[in-house]
Structure 1
Amino acid sequence: MSKDLLFEIGLEEVPARFIPGAITQLKDRLSKWLDESRIAHGEVRTFATPRRLTVLVEQVAEKQEDVQEEVKGPSRKIALDDQGGWSKAALGFARSQGVDPEQFTFRELGGVEYIYASKSSVGVPTTEVLGDGLLQILHAMTFPKFMRWASYDFKFVRPIRWIVALFGTDIIDLEVTGVRAGNVTRGHRFLGQDAVIAEPSEYVERLREQHVIADVEERKALILKQINELAESKGWTIAIKDDLLEEVLYLVETPTALFGTFEESFLNIPQEVLITSMREHQRYFPVLGKDGQLLPYFVTVRNGGSESLDVIAKGNEKVLRARLSDAKFFYEEDQKLEIKDAISKLESVVFHEELGTVGDKLRRIRKIADQLAAKLEVSADTAESVSRAADICKFDLVTQMVYEFPELQGVMGEDYARKAGEKEEVAKAVFEHYQPRSASDSLPSTLTGSIVSIADKMDTIVGCFSIGIIPTGSQDPYALRRQAQGVVQILLDNKLTVSLSDVFGIALEIHENMRILKRSGDEIRKDLYEFFGLRVKKLLSETLRYDVVDAVITAGFDQVSSVVARGAALMDVVGNKETFKETVESFNRVSNLAAKSTQTRVTPELFQEEAESSLFTAWQNATIRYKDALASESMAEALELAGGLTPSITTFFDSVMVMAEDEAVRVNRLALLASIDGDLKKFADFSKLVW
């Protein structure tokens, strides 16, 4: 027999950003507790609004499962003392399992006898353990921020105001902070009333009657439907950003979309400013025309019905007008600030207490960017743009607009730089040097922006590594993983010929010359290679098999475009098990014996077999073209040339005794194999491939 279980935690309004994690956590903890308690159950469903976190579990067994198990203990040798009695180890095992030692049995396993304890446990009714289980789950919940209320020691995300805990039609015995579980839930704060839940299956409908759409997906679909209908009726494009939609979703219980207007004069401000103000401060959806330009309208979602929408719209318009007036004031005031004055202010803005001010950082970025530009042999005009962009790329950090909206750094810098008369390429680079800001963000579109972006990111990474700030586990407060991934993607996307070792060397040299390294350069370089290797591996893993990734990474990843091209070429042929497997096996035979070699210098005069000369000639004929193909990243050609050695390798092993008695002959044969293996491993370590 089974019943449905309903557990609703009624709260004061929870911050929207906390709810998705909280409801997932509640579901996972309850599911785990049921499983560990041997209580069978069906589907676990969740519901959430600003005022409630709810889990409904279908077909929960009315009784725990009985269990009969045997637990392995110490071996007979350890379990018995010299007199044949039970040792302390055996008696301790008995206590830990809650059994009498006389119940032990002996059983042989792998040629050794062990004691086994038989344990049986009769399941109790579910109602007897549910209350304590739910209370444990409540106490175990974690949140980004907690609250305490009244005189209670208990802490939670927000004060608990009611609890619904039903097992079938029975109320579960549960109390926390003076709130006793019952079968009465609360409807919409203003439109609804209390409602009795007779049994769990009624939950959604009883709340709907009280103006609460409890199902998250239903509420989301309703919001999107209303917004899309509004867009269609007005001929608008309403920009729906996923993170804003999710936030709005958890701000309302009964959603009703409406629109408002603002004065067209505000459109003289860059639309990024207006959109950011609407989204971040007011949780409004911006409205765009068919040309993608912002229109003087906004869409918002009310937590309530469709009554008096004109009054609600006017109230929202009034609030937005004040916000946009502030933005307009900041925008106009910022343009009175000259770039050189803004840069001088950065001398008093601390970047990191051990790494100096933002002004210090700008000087390092400039030096790194200049050396990268020289290494890449860019044109004189581009080099000049790189230097200027590096000099001013952070100036907008001291503007009022960026102070109010930090997410607009770079956006405002580009606009202000253009208005101050900077070259278009320089203004663009001020924005692009922050890219990519996230995994889904675009990469810099200009060479100038790409170089300054790499310089900025490498300065941060090397600086942090030098003072011991290296990401571990989930801790990465300076987003170094994201910045390193950005460097890798920029190098690849722009096909920049500079290697990672060049980039590391330039940044380390600048930091060392400015005397801010706190660790040795060699230690930092080693950490950088390991750190960036993981970023390259992550990039390759998005399109390649794991063994192909391991094979090409082991051969080296200093030139990012090379390792990506090698991976793609290897992936194209690795699926052909019949022909390519034979090739790989021959390469691996070469590698296994090459490991025994102490040199790579080959003396043809010591060859005694025709197969030796044939393999040497085939390798000599292929190696120059093979290395040229690697250098030009013609990886399919390089792999084909390497594969062309297979017949000669096979004949060599069929005809030649490599480990000859004559030491000179043996060493020469091993040297031949080592030379070939060295070339092959410039492409990949083929032993990593899995068939």
Structure 2
Amino acid sequence: MDTNDLLIELGTEELPPKSLKHLSDAFTQGIVAQLETARLSFDQVRSFASPRRLAVCIEGVQTAQADEVVEKRGPAVQAAFDAEGNPTKAAQGWARGVGIDVADAQRLKTDKGEWLMYEATVKGKSLTELVQGMIETAVKQLPIPKTMRWGSGSHQFIRPLHRLTVLLGQQVVPAELFGIQSSNKVTGHRFHHSTDVTVPHAKQYADVLRDAHVIADFAERKAMIQQSVIELAEQESGIPVWDEDLVDEVTSLVEYPVAMVAGFDASFLAVPKEALIYTMKDDQRYFPLVDTQNNLLPRFIFISNIQSSDPVQVTSGNEKVIRPRLADAQFFFETDKKTPLADRIGKLDSVLFQKELGSIGDKARRIAANAKAIAGALHADANAAERAGLLAKADLVSNMVMEFPEVQGVMGMHYARHDGESEVVAEAIEAHYRPRFAGDELPVSHEGCAVALADKLDTLVGIFAIGQTPKGDRDPFGLRRAAIGMLRILVEKQLNLDLNMLVKTAIESYGTLVTKPSEVQDQVVDFLLGRFRAWYQDQQIPVDVIQAVLARRPTVALDFDRRVKAVTEFRSHPQAEALAAANKRVSNILSKAESVNSSIDEGLLSETAEKALYGALQGIREQVSHAAESGDYAAALTALATLREPVDTFFDEVMVNADDDAVRANRLALLNQLRNQFLNIADISLLQS
């Protein structure tokens, strides 16, 4: 089997930096999928991506498909010939379809009879014949939300295509895409090597581009950026403010990264660092520097796409660019400080939250009321929580946040401190957006938790009340994220609050706007409980464990979590499988009974096995009850695991559906008590083996 290296590169104009890595992965996966579909083996796959190219190099790819033996069975011999031995229409039609005469057909004999059969060897296609279709399919499947046209043609792609490079070893493979013919040419760096360069062999692709000042490997380029930023930061006695998305975006903007240091006037440090950091990172794609105490330094690192012969000019240019942006932030901050947060609340009444639910001002007042109630339940400072809730959205109408929306909450905290609000209130204002994303930090104080919960609850209840629930992938109000955030706060901060109480409080704050309060309450609580499934699956918790707990619908999130952890531990117990099966059997038996007694008549217990089960149940009842009431579900399940032997013996030796009605009813009551002991924790009959 012959093998060679296959290179495919799409040379384009500058690709969207935030999409580059995703596009590269999709293109590579598309080509690999096509090779697998064509049954062409290969050794190693290397993906390349830079601002002006998507490429993949497949090493050791099979250069041609293996020949394939094709068998096509025809009609049974009995149906293929008439009484005189002449071919029937069925036989003639089949023979025409496979391209032979009936007389040339082979025979296939089996235990069930004899059939006409055609066997032929289909020659495999060469890789060079298949490449065109592979490229077209892979390009067609790229995740491109919006295409563009260029020139006078009708071709559409994410950016204009200028080069198509397709090599199998040294050979240029004929192919065409968007009117561009394949070649062995690639484009070098736009400034350092503006002429095209020839790739002699597919395996030399990365080296040829490196000589042309292009680091084509995305991961290599990213590592170069990270290492150079760290080294320069150390020289400045600073620590870079890392952001994985920022590193990826900068990597997608340059082909030949060169890290450089620049600075700004230290007077700007009077502005809250979050605003300055946002300006440097999000507006300019710079890496800010902080000291060991996390104080912002008046220095930053930027990545240039050229190796300048006059680096001072490059540095000076970047300093000139950032100065007006920082000056804007400084102006906004100084201007905003002249108006206290409390005086901005009135302006929130003119900012729409949702047309059926009122303004942001209405929302702020609801948050304040809900936060006060939640803080009271947590024995926290209810007045501080109420004040923080009222002020939480006030910075939305500040100059700084209107210019830099990402610093909302953070600026509210700084303005609250400036206004003389307590530190508890200031920190709770910033914390009420937390967690903003998966893995984000949670509020520290109970007051901050109260405001964060109140904000998320208000959105959940309001949107459910007007019927705008998430459907499919659509979740414009971020309800799923809000729900997960609530659950994280309740569980990870160990807050023993009932979801029903929380949701009911939020509903009451809406007054008559919620026309069906009990229905909305059930919907929101069910939605929150449903989010547990996604959250725990991310933690690799088996689905059957989550379903076993969900079946009991515990509405205290912290309690739900304890049950899940206990059942997860129990699931690995040697007795778990048998007890789960027994519970399933008991459930089936009880579901068929017209009625079940709540009490057991000891006098009707006649069989040794049923007496033993009853005794075992009585022996652990108090232990299980005490453990469950204290939330130690693991201990409760461990105690219940001792029932395996008496349960197995009961089903082996006792006939539940006895002829005597009283005995049968008594045995059903015994099984009901057994089942209820487990149902106090979870429905373990749902556990899979």
Q: Same fold (TM over 0.5)?
A: yes
* Aligned residue number for residue 662 of structure 1: 660
Length-normalised TM-score, structure 1: 0.89
Query: Taking structure 1 as reference, are residues 75 and 690 closer, same or farther at Cα in structure 2, changes over 3 Å only?
Result: farther
Provide the rounded CA distance (Å) in 2 between the counterparts of 1:540 and 1:270.
37
Query: Taking structure 1 as reference, are residues 603 and 256 closer, same or farther at Cα in structure 2, changes over 3 Å only?
Result: closer
CA deviations 1:566-593 (Å, max 9, x no partner) are 232333344342x555555555554443
Q: CA deviation at 1:67?
A: 2.8
Question: Are 1:145 and 2:184 an aligned pair?
Answer: no
Matches within 5 A, 1:187-198: 187-192=188-193, 193-198=195-200
* Aligned residue number for residue 84 of structure 2: none
Residues 604, 613 of structure 1: 8 Å contact kept? no
Q: CA deviation at 1:8?
A: 1.2
Residues 347, 358 of structure 1: 8 Å contact kept? yes
CA deviations 1:61-109 (Å, max 9, x no partner) are 3323333355899999x999xxx9889xx98x999x9788977999999
Matches within 5 A, 1:489-528: 489-511=488-510, 513-516=511-514, 520-521=516-517, 524-528=520-524
Provide the rounded CA distance (Å) in 1 between the counterparts of 2:131 and 2:637.
64
One-letter amino acid of the counterpart of residue 346, structure 1: L
Question: Are 1:278 and 2:274 an aligned pair?
Answer: no
* Aligned residue number for residue 446 of structure 2: 447
Residues 570, 634 of structure 2: 8 Å contact kept? no
Return the match for 2:527 from 519, 527, 531: 531
Query: Taking structure 1 as reference, are residues 119 and 245 closer, same or farther at Cα in structure 2, changes over 3 Å only?
Result: farther
Provide the rounded CA distance (Å) in 1 between the counterparts of 2:412 and 2:161.
46
What is the Cα-based RMSD across aligned positions, in Å? Answer: 3.5
Provide the rounded CA distance (Å) in 1 between the counterparts of 2:95 and 2:243.
60
Matches within 5 A, 1:19-168: 19-69=20-70, 121-168=122-169
Residues 38, 64 of structure 1: 8 Å contact kept? yes
Length-normalised TM-score, structure 2: 0.89
* Aligned residue number for residue 329 of structure 1: 331
* Aligned residue number for residue 550 of structure 1: 547
SS at match of 1:195: strand
Deviates more, 1:250-259 or 1:587-596: 587-596
Matches within 5 A, 1:522-601: 524-541=520-537, 542=539, 544-577=541-574, 579=575, 584=580, 587=583, 590-597=586-593, 598-601=595-598
CA deviations 1:589-630 (Å, max 9, x no partner) are 544434344224214265242755564455355434433322
CA deviations 1:527-553 (Å, max 9, x no partner) are 434433332123334164444333333
SS at match of 1:7: strand
Residues 99, 117 of structure 1: 8 Å contact kept? no
Query: Taking structure 1 as reference, are residues 639 and 199 closer, same or farther at Cα in structure 2, changes over 3 Å only?
Result: same
* Aligned residue number for residue 395 of structure 2: 396
Provide the rounded CA distance (Å) in 2 between the counterparts of 1:386 and 1:116.
83
Q: CA deviation at 1:488?
A: 0.7
One-letter amino acid of the counterpart of residue 540, structure 1: Y
Contiguous gaps of at least 5 residues in structure 2:
82-86
Question: Are 1:16 and 2:17 an aligned pair?
Answer: yes
One-letter amino acid of the counterpart of residue 457, structure 1: K
CA deviations 1:93-146 (Å, max 9, x no partner) are 999x9788977999999x999999978643233323323432343344331332
Query: Taking structure 1 as reference, are residues 523 and 146 closer, same or farther at Cα in structure 2, changes over 3 Å only?
Result: farther
* Aligned residue number for residue 467 of structure 2: 468
Question: Are 1:175 and 2:176 an aligned pair?
Answer: yes
SS at match of 2:146: coil
Residues 600, 671 of structure 1: 8 Å contact kept? yes
Q: CA deviation at 1:649?
A: 4.1
Question: Are 1:205 and 2:207 an aligned pair?
Answer: yes
Return the match for 1:673 from 658, 664, 671: 671
One-letter amino acid of the counterpart of residue 307, structure 1: S
Deviates more, 1:365-374 or 1:20-29: 365-374
One-letter amino acid of the counterpart of residue 368, structure 1: N
Residues 607, 613 of structure 1: 8 Å contact kept? no
Question: Are 1:266 and 2:268 an aligned pair?
Answer: yes
One-letter amino acid of the counterpart of residue 327, structure 1: A
Q: CA deviation at 1:464?
A: 2.5
Q: CA deviation at 1:58?
A: 1.9
One-letter amino acid of the counterpart of residue 556, structure 1: R
One-letter amino acid of the counterpart of residue 215, structure 1: D
Q: CA deviation at 1:239?
A: 2.1
Q: Percent identity?
A: 36
Provide the rounded CA distance (Å) in 2 between the counterparts of 1:383 and 1:101.
93
Q: CA deviation at 1:673?
A: 1.5
Residues 288, 294 of structure 1: 8 Å contact kept? yes
One-letter amino acid of the counterpart of residue 533, structure 1: L
Provide the rounded CA distance (Å) in 1 between the counterparts of 2:43 and 2:652.
63
One-letter amino acid of the counterpart of residue 309, structure 1: P
Residues 361, 459 of structure 1: 8 Å contact kept? yes
Q: CA deviation at 1:259?
A: 0.3
One-letter amino acid of the counterpart of residue 271, structure 1: K
Deviates more, 1:652-661 or 1:301-310: 652-661
Matches within 5 A, 1:249-398: 249-374=251-376, 376=377, 378=379, 382-398=381-397
Contiguous gaps of at least 5 residues in structure 1:
none
Query: Taking structure 1 as reference, are residues 585 and 23 closer, same or farther at Cα in structure 2, changes over 3 Å only?
Result: closer
